[in-house]
């Protein structure tokens, strides 16, 4: 950091510091380390772009911890436990190609649904998913209703969708092949 130039006096004398800062989040006081720089010539304080990025990531991890969600470090450990690369994790759980990289660096906070799915993947025994979700949400919900069986079953993307005949397609066939 000593090569950064002070915005106030122009001196090449910025020195990096880290301290714990408190902030309010959803009615609670949280703490996170924050980086900043001070000019040893004039005493001006600055927060450089790389410090801002690190500070933002630390704050997001504090939010996740407060919300009971996996932190970036915990997501790295979860992915390693499952033996997945970041790209494989994105395919495994869904989401964009860079999603897990961003979750792990705390650039993006995963959704509550993604957090539950990641935790569910670590279960070692067969799980009744509706009951598992109910328990982890602190709800007491009975068995699914009979209509539950009418839900369209999941099919992986690799399975081509069936072609549905339509009047437009039939007209096209007649014009081009008839």
pLDDT 10s digits, 35-86: 999 999 999 999 999 999 999 999 999 999 999 999 999 999 999 999 999 9
Is 110 contained in some domain? yes
* Inter-residue contact 18 to 35 (CB < 8 Å): yes
Domain co-membership, 61 together with 115: no
Residue 59 sits in the same domain as residue 81:
no
Say which residues have a Cβ less than 8 Å from residue 6's Cβ, sequence separation at least 6.
12, 13, 14, 39, 41, 42, 44, 46
Same-domain check for residues 9 and 45: yes
| pTM score, whole prediction | 0.71
Q: Which of 135, 107, 106 is nearest to 119 (CA)?
A: 135
Of the three residues 108, 125, 142, the one that is the final residue of a domain is 125
User: Looking at the 3D structure of the chain, how many domains does it have?
Assistant: 2
Q: What is the token pair recorded at 5?
A: 């130039």
């Amino acid at each position: 950091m000593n090569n950064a130039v002070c915005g106030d006096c122009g001196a090449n004398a910025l020195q990096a510091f880290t301290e714990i800062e408190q902030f309010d989040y959803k009615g609670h006081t949280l703490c996170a380390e924050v980086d900043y720089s001070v000019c040893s010539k004039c005493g001006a304080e600055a927060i450089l772009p790389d410090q801002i990025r690190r500070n933002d990531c630390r704050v997001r991890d504090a939010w996740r911890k407060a919300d009971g969600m996996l932190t970036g470090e915990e997501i790295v450990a979860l992915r390693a436990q499952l033996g997945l690369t970041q790209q494989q994790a994105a395919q495994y759980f869904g989401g964009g190609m860079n999603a897990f990289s961003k979750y792990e660096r705390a650039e993006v906070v995963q959704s509550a649904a993604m957090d539950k799915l990641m935790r569910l993947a670590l279960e070692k025994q067969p799980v009744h998913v509706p009951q598992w979700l109910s328990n982890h949400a602190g709800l007491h919900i009975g068995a699914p209703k009979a209509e539950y069986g009418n839900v369209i079953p999941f099919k992986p993307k690799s399975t081509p969708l069936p072609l549905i005949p339509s009047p437009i397609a039939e007209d096209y066939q007649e014009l081009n092949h008839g």
